[in-house]
Structure 1
Amino acid sequence: MSINTDKNNFEQNNKKNSNLDKKIIGNAIVAYIFSFMFLFNKKDKYINNTFVRSHAKSALVIHFGFLLTYIIFINIGIFKIQIFSGYTLNTIISIILFLSLFSILIYGAYKAYLGKYFSLGTIIKIPEIEETEEIEKEKISIDEKNKLIIILSFIPIIGYYIFGEYNNKKIIRNTTKFNMISFIIIILLFISNNEVWGSILLLGYIVFSAYSILNLVTKDEVPSIKLNFILSPEEKFLVLKGLKKYLNAFRKKEKFIKFKEILKKEKETFNLEEVKILEVIKTKKETKLPKELIYVPIINLIFLFNKDTKYIYHIRNGITITLFMLVIGITPKISSLNIFFLFPIAYGTGYLKNRLAYKMPYIYWIYEKGILILSLFLSKAKKIKEIKETNNDIKLKVENKKDKDIKNLKKFDSENLSNENREQEKNIPENDSKNIKPENFTIENNGK
């Protein structure tokens, strides 16, 4: 019996017997607590039911996710890397996964309460940015050049570099995604002192890549890696921007627009802005220095004195990466994370040829916010300086006025004193001055 038939039968049973509905729905809700017990109960007709079993299967997968998260990230301690004071990467991942799984568990129980079927596929399906028909219908001719491109896409760093030129080919996008995700996990395992697990995964990647390359060379079979549901960093950035607008519109109670439409408009705006920027910068001169140095950390700081060039956006990307690496490098506990900057460096270098107006996802956004904060800080500092200068001028004027007042006061006092002396001299009697005669004084001469 098909799933659709079971759903139809359940809906018909809903109309026939409401008491049965309550028991079945109740069991489906409880299945999210006791999934294992409900899934293997064959006797009770209210439990051995398509609707209940469907929810019990979803619940079992979620419970298994809780168990795996605990074993891998808490018990074994994979990715135990110090990120912040008192927080490790495995703790952060565990918290995110536990909260996500718990939210899915509640959502599934709510669906059961509504009498609706629930599938985990509806949760993990990521809204994919629409691709053009040309890319969807592409047919790659398996000539020697394309074989070489596909082989190189399996190699770390080199694969990300060639992505810049051949990212319009779906097979290259999927192979590069597989390459990047695998090596991010492998690097995390090694720097978190899980060398055994890292070595196993590295060996698995090498074996799979060798097998795919061998089939490509000998049988002309293109590797079948379908990772369209995993978004690239640029696509994720656009999704986050679209999600922000979507939530803001909902919060402000504006006219409702579907998220898919917002995402499509966001991509169109992004592409249009890049075209406009390209029209402005493509007429600028070439850089005097080798452009390959733009993404070389530390060395690229020399481009601070060569900003009037068509590679200005790449220079901003590269210098922002360098500043991040310097900040992380002086922090001993997280300095090992600098290795992850190899990924954006390789992607950026690959885009130097054919994408002059490339704003690296997240990196360029951080640059823009940093410039905004710096300009606000400088503006504030300038205003504070102006206020201080104004206060100093006022203080100087007050002090000058005070000195002038003191001088005037002294002058006034001296004039008053002179007038008083004159008055006193006038008041001395004339007889008193005449009574003073020489004979009234005697001089003693001891010698005669």
Structure 2
Amino acid sequence: LGRRSDWWTETAMVDLCAELGPNAPYDNWVDLLDDLGVDRKQAGTAVGGGTVGETAFNNAYNVNDLQTFLSDGEVEKYYFHQIQWLWEDEELCGEKVVHAWIYSVAEYIAENCSVADDHGNPLNVRDLEEIFDNLSGVSGYGNELSLMGGGWSKSVPFKCVDACEAVPVELLVLDYCCNWGIGRSTMNVEDAGNSKLVTRLPDLDISCESYNLFYKDVVEAAAVFGENGSGADTIGAFADVDAALGEYILTWVDNQNRPTDIDGNLLPEDSTTFNYWNVTCEEKSETEKVAIDNHDGTIGWETIIHNTTYLDTATSTAPNGIVAINCSGTLSQDIWVDLDECGQGTITRRFFISGGCDDDISPEWEFHQVINVHSACGMRESMFDLPANVGTKNEPICLPQGLSRSYLPDTIGALTVKPHLEGKLCNSFASGSEVKEFDVPNSLGMK
């Protein structure tokens, strides 16, 4: 028979305090032993110092009562069925092994989930050896059971977090006369399962403007680590990229390929999706009534429409990538930036994923996510402010020479990007001018 060295302390597999019997909470040994299947009268006799005898003890013992304590989860149910098998198979000294099981369960509950009696006295585990001496009628039997302990079964259970680890185990060897010894070893737990792609992390299209606002800092911080950068990342740079641009989640899936935790519970939607931000270019129009001086001295009104470009931020939701694993998996990634002088181009994220423990045996998958970066705005008139009119017939401005493409002084104004767009657009603008001269009627020398 074998067992894990941590069989009763690893609560992820066995939690003896999770489900207690009807006599709980336990402040005396009789109630506890009664719930563990020991005949109540016999338990009272043994606790009081009387002798029961092994045959009478075994004949009255109800092994099914242990199911109350070992019924939650696959491992606990397996242990209970193993105890049943041991109790019924006398040739393997099963009764002694079950006695050790009972002793260990009682000891654990007394130490971890019992209560003090009316006088404030807790259960004393040292009393348990004498109690089992009295139940069996054999001096020193309780000490023997304490040394053997419980947790024994034909197969040793392991959990997913044991994968690729070395787990201490023990082997119980018994001879025909039920003399026994315990050997100790280490079990290297392998994960022979392979990973499987369930959902691919989607490519993204974002604007250069949104990249500069929301992503540039985190992307550049990760990119400096180069090839297989996540392996050298000590500052959490790639975790920031995952939060911003999505990630691959290595997890379990149900029969509908829906991601779950190890217990089969569906993962919440907010953990299987991510939000990202994009900046788009929009245009709005405003109407203005402008006063116009007519030739006859009256004032007229002209309707002028002003178009203005503005930037709008929108949030979108996309799915994270899902990779199904058996128990364990590894993921590494790097990121490569290829943007031109205008901040447009592509960002490529490479993910390297494998399942199992042995990198030489387990296949490695390589997935890419491409983020296309482009300008949010094509060039349009509503991005710019035209210079204001300067000079009038009554107050003209004087220039040393006529205007031309080679002579267009800044003093008369220039085309400018609207103030709220300055420094926010990725476009690189160049402007030129065309000069047209018109004579002012009845005004010699005025243009």
TM-score after normalising by structure 1: 0.23
> Greater relative contact order (Cα 8 A, min sep 6): structure 1 or 2?
2
Higher helix proportion, which one? 1
TM norm structure 2: 0.23
